[in-house]
């Protein structure tokens, strides 16, 4: 089911990271199993020594999946902006997943630096995908500087804890009904991804949960099925939760014994 970012349709709500896989072959097979709409790539992988970066980039190009470069590991506005410009030259795209990390233990975004970096990059023609929190005020400011997509975290990067603040994520979806929203970071198992789609999110971004699984290829396939199930469930209009039991078998017409 297609998702649209900055006017470009992608074929799946599953976005897949390309870091930490045991081998290039497993990465390739995982991408083929996941059938993602987008893959994310880091400039650091491309710039590795002994032409390893060029080999990685060649592998990604052969997969023929839209690429979203990221500024992973950047801690200042200057570092993030410089990395984004370098990535645009290397990967030939104006898309950039913008990360400005503010806290080392949780890798929580520096939302003040994030808004400033997003402003600078948007003014320079970038289409920015900001890695942010579920804070509605920060979201408003990111949209005001030109972002057309928001990527709130589910939980700290690589934690596998899933959706820590379902209330906040649901509020963000309700507050910005027309904005593409992607749950990014913290998703650990396919059920977390399905839950995000059921909440109405447009996509999820997965990396560690697939790359560090015992069997990355089968885990990639599981996530593909999970996002399909989550999206179908949302479209099917799930029943509302109730505080009291409601019998599934009608009482009317039930035999009564004297």
Q: Dihedral of CA 71/76/77/83: which sign?
A: negative
Is 164 annotated as a binding-site member?
no
User: What is the distance, to the nearest Å, from the Cα of residue 47 to the centroid of all Cα atoms in its chain?
Assistant: 24
- The answer to whether residues 140 and 157 touch, using CB atoms and an 8 Å cutoff, is no
Beta strands 8-10 and 14-17, pairing class: unpaired
Residue 208 marked in a binding site: yes
158 has binding-site annotation? yes
| Secondary structure class of 232 (helix, strand, coil) | helix
Q: Which of the residues 62, 64, 78, 97 is marked catalytic?
A: 97
Q: Which tokens sit at 194?
A: 């399905």
Spell out where 77-181 has E strands: 95-98, 127-132, 151-152
Please, are residues 204 and 193 in contact by the beta-carbon 8 Å criterion?
A: yes
- Is 230 annotated as a binding-site member? no
Per-residue 3-state assignment (H helix, E strand, C coil) for 70-114: ECCCCCCHHHHHHHHHHHHHHHCCCEEEECCECCCCCCCECHHHH
Q: Is 209 annotated as a binding residue?
A: no
Token duo for residue 139: 């979201």
Is 97 noted as a catalytic residue in this protein? yes
Q: Annotated binding residues, as ranges?
A: 158, 185-186, 207-208
Q: Annotated binding residues for 1-deoxy-D-xylulose 5-phosphate, as ranges?
A: 158, 185-186, 207-208
Task: Just list the catalytic residues.
Answer: 97
């Amino acid at each position: 089911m297609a998702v649209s970012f900055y006017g470009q349709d992608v074929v799946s709500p599953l976005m897949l990271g390309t870091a930490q896989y045991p081998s290039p072959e497993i990465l390739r097979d995982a991408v083929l199993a996941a059938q993602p709409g987008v893959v994310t790539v880091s400039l650091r992988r491309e710039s590795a020594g002994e032409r390893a970066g060029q080999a990685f980039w060649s592998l990604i190009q052969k997969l023929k999946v839209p690429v979203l470069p990221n500024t992973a590991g950047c801690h200042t506005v200057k570092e993030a902006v410089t990395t984004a410009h370098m990535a645009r030259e290397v990967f030939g795209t104006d898309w950039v997943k913008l990360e400005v990390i503010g806290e080392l233990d949780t890798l929580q975004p520096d939302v003040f630096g994030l808004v400033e970096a997003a402003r600078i990059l948007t003014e320079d023609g970038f289409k920015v995908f900001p890695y942010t929190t579920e804070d509605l005020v920060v979201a408003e400011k990111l949209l005001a500087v030109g972002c057309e997509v928001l990527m709130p975290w589910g939980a700290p990067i690589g934690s596998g804890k899933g959706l820590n603040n379902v209330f906040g994520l649901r509020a963000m979806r309700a507050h910005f009904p027309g904005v593409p929203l992607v749950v990014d970071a913290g998703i650990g198992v396919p059920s977390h991804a399905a839950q995000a789609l059921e909440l109405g999110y447009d996509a999820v971004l997965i990396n560690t949960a697939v790359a560090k699984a015992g069997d990355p290829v089968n885990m990639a396939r599981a996530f593909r099925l999970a996002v399909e199930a989550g999206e179908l469930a949302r479209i099917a209009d799930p029943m509302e939760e109730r505080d009291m039991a409601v019998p599934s078998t009608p009482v009317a017409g039930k035999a009564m014994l004297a």
